[in-house]
């Protein structure tokens, strides 16, 4: 049977992966309420299509941080792609390059940054940082990413500690035994240490530390995991260039708002002074359209990328992205939007359900 939507990839990936790996990818914190609400919240929003607008040509291209992408659908940072496919992040990078979108590479990538860049030299990539307690290690990682051509630094702010993921505890998941996190060690150590400890994420980082990051890199800084107007206003004040509204796919603090429900508050607070993006629960072209209508410049997709990888490697990721792009084009055509710039809040309504 052909795989025609992201749900098809989800079902097929589940068949391919071990229970422990499936649980790690699919899993969420505590009761998984926010993970499920990320999806349900999109379904509470209704569309208001406009007709008779000559939609014979529809253009999904847009820009993020001034860089062109073929559609406002990019890849969220996720660690450990080698769990889903042997080539891991190298396959993901090739698929992103072929599709013309941005791939945010995680600190916890299972391939080195150099191997990822070599696999897809002309792809647009941003680097996601989990701030490490060792300042010098942060500096080395950021400057290495910058010299390798990564175009933005995404600092994840919602992991001062790892959320309570019951399934991983039950499964006794031990990622550090399975994978080499090569980027977190010096080149010498990278070759000599067979398995290394996953380093802790620094819980002491605060707003005033951002100026240090700004002093060591030219890259625009994007904060990932902001959910409130208070933090959005602080991001503007600290000269951050973008925000990803995200609850980490429901993997951190359970019972926070669905990403799409938090979006409007953040968009309103920043008053157009920086770009706002969203991740969490994007599964169809309609979801992308709704996020853009509510003010996101672009969306990032998480788990479905790993489903694509698990099913067919690089080609699976490409198929997942192309399905979403095609669905977005259809959604735009059926709502009367010829370009991404024409997607606005008049396209959505929130009925009392």
Q: Terminus-to-terminus CA distance in the chain, angstroms?
A: 35
Contact window for ligand FMN (CB under 6 A) among 61-69, 228-236, 295-303, 343-351? 295-303
Q: Which residues are catalytic?
A: 248
Q: In this chain, which of 72, 79, 88, 295 binds ligand FMN, going by CB under 6 A? A: 79
81 among annotated binding-site residues: no
Secondary element (H or E) of residue 124: strand 124-129
61 among annotated binding-site residues: no
The 220-259 site mask, x for binding ligand FMN (CB under 6 A), equals: ----x---------------------x-xx-x--------
Which of 156, 300, 151, 295 has its CA nearest to residue 226?
Answer: 156
Q: In this chain, which of 123, 220, 242, 280 binds ligand FMN, going by CB under 6 A? A: 280
Angle at 68 between CA 63 and CA 69, to 5 degrees: 90
The 101-140 site mask, x for binding ligand FMN (CB under 6 A), equals: -----x-x-------------------x------------
Number of residues that bind ligand FMN (CB under 6 A): 22
Residues 20 to 39 in contact with ligand FMN, rule: CB under 6 A: 25, 38
Q: Does 282 participate in binding ligand FMN (rule CB under 6 A)?
A: yes
Buried b (16+ CB within 10 A) or exposed e, 105-127: bbbbbbbbbebbbebbeebbbbb
Of 83 and 274, which CB lies nearer to ligand FMN in the complex structure? 83
User: What are the φ/ψ torsions at residue 152 (nearest 5 degrees)?
Assistant: -155, 155
77 among annotated binding-site residues: yes
Upper half-sphere CA count for residue 183 (Cβ side, 13 Å): 29
Distances (CA, A) of 92 to 20, 82, 110, 309, 315: 21, 10, 12, 7, 9
Contact window for ligand FMN (CB under 6 A) among 70-78, 264-272, 290-298, 334-342? 70-78
For residue 343, the minimal CB distance to ligand FMN (Å) is 20
For residue 74, the minimal CB distance to ligand FMN (Å) is 11
Say if residues 62 and 88 touch (Cβ distance below 8 Å): no
Of 65 and 336, which CB lies nearer to ligand FMN in the complex structure? 65
135 among annotated binding-site residues: no
Secondary element (H or E) of residue 156: strand 153-156
Give the residue ranges of the annotated binding site.
Answer: 77-79, 106, 128, 130, 156, 165, 224, 246, 248, 251, 279-283, 302-303
Residues at the contact surface with ligand FMN, assessed by CB under 6 A = 25, 38, 76-79, 106, 108, 128, 156, 224, 246, 248-249, 251, 279-282, 301-303
């Amino acid at each position: 049977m052909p795989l025609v939507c992201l749900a098809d990839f989800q079902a097929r990936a589940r068949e391919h992966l071990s229970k422990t790996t499936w649980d790690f990818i699919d899993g969420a914190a505590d009761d998984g309420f926010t993970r499920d609400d990320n999806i349900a919240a999109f379904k509470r929003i209704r569309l208001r299509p406009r007709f008779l607008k000559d939609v014979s040509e529809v253009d999904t291209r847009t820009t993020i941080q001034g860089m062109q992408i073929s559609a406002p659908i990019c890849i969220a940072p996720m660690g450990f792609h080698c769990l889903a496919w042997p080539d891991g992040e190298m396959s993901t990078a090739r698929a992103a390059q072929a599709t013309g979108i941005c791939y945010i590479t995680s600190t916890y990538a299972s391939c080195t940054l150099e191997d990822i860049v070599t696999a897809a030299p002309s792809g647009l990539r941003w680097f996601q940082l989990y701030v490490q307690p060792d300042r010098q290690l942060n500096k080395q990682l950021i400057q290495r990413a910058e010299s390798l051509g990564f175009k933005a630094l995404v600092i994840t702010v919602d992991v001062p500690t790892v959320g309570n993921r019951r399934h991983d505890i039950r499964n006794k998941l031990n990622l550090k035994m399975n994978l080499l996190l090569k980027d977190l060690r010096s080149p010498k150590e990278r070759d000599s240490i067979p398995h290394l400890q996953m380093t802790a994420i620094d819980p002491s980082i605060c707003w005033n530390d951002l100026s240090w990051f700004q002093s060591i890199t030219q890259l625009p800084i994007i904060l990932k995991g902001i959910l409130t107007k208070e933090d959005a206003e602080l991001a503007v004040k600290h000269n951050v260039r973008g925000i990803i509204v995200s609850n980490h796919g429901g993997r951190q603090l359970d019972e926070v708002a669905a990403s799409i429900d938090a979006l409007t508050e953040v968009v309103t607070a920043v008053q157009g002074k920086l770009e706002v993006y969203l991740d969490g629960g994007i599964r169809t072209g309609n979801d992308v359209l709704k996020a853009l209508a509510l003010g996101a410049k672009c969306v990032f997709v998480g788990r479905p990328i790993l489903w694509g990888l698990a099913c067919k490697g690089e080609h699976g990721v490409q198929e997942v992205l192309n399905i979403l792009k095609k669905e977005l084009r259809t959604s735009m055509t059926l709502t009367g939007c010829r370009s991404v710039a024409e997607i606005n809040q008049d396209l959505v309504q929130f009925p009392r359900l």
